[in-house]
Amino acid sequence: MQLDKLLTPERISCQQTVASKKRALEMMCELLATGQPSLDESQIFSCMLERERLGSTGVGHGVAIPHSRMQGVEEAIVAIAVLDSGIDYDAIDDQDADILFALLVPQECTEEHLQILASAAEMFSNEEICSALRKAQNEQEIYQIISQWQPHSLSA
């Protein structure tokens, strides 16, 4: 799945400074709500926090993929932030996270949710992509990097 189809430049943050996992989640919820007048940031935050209580979405190698399904969401949306320095995200490898990729999907979209998560996991397992994202100077560069990435399922 091409992740840039779910992303807009307005839902990207580059070189952001946050001090905690909670503030990072709040920021990602703000980004997800951008351009979505029907979505409430606090409701998104509650859903994300509920998911996070099941287990950290810090997947390792400096990446976190907070995600949730939510009533009232009409289509899958994503947001991405590259932080100026990593934060403790309770990752499985105990590394601080500096790349955050948030996903919000409609409540009933279980299969699509899993497909998007699989694509994100594939993209962020690519060290070159992560390195390029960390070197990006602005939101447009981040959008370009994600737009140019091709999942294996499409390149085969």
Active site residue 61: no
Half-sphere exposure of 21 (CA within 13 A, CB side): 19
Task: Give the chain's largest Cα–Cα span.
Answer: 41
Choose, from 61, 67, 113, 152, the residue flagged as catalytic.
67
| 84 vs 98: CA distance, rounded Å | 7
| 22 vs 28: CA distance, rounded Å | 10
Neighbouring CB atoms inside 10 A of 82's CB total 23
CA angle 121-101-154, nearest 5°?
45
Known catalytic residues? 67
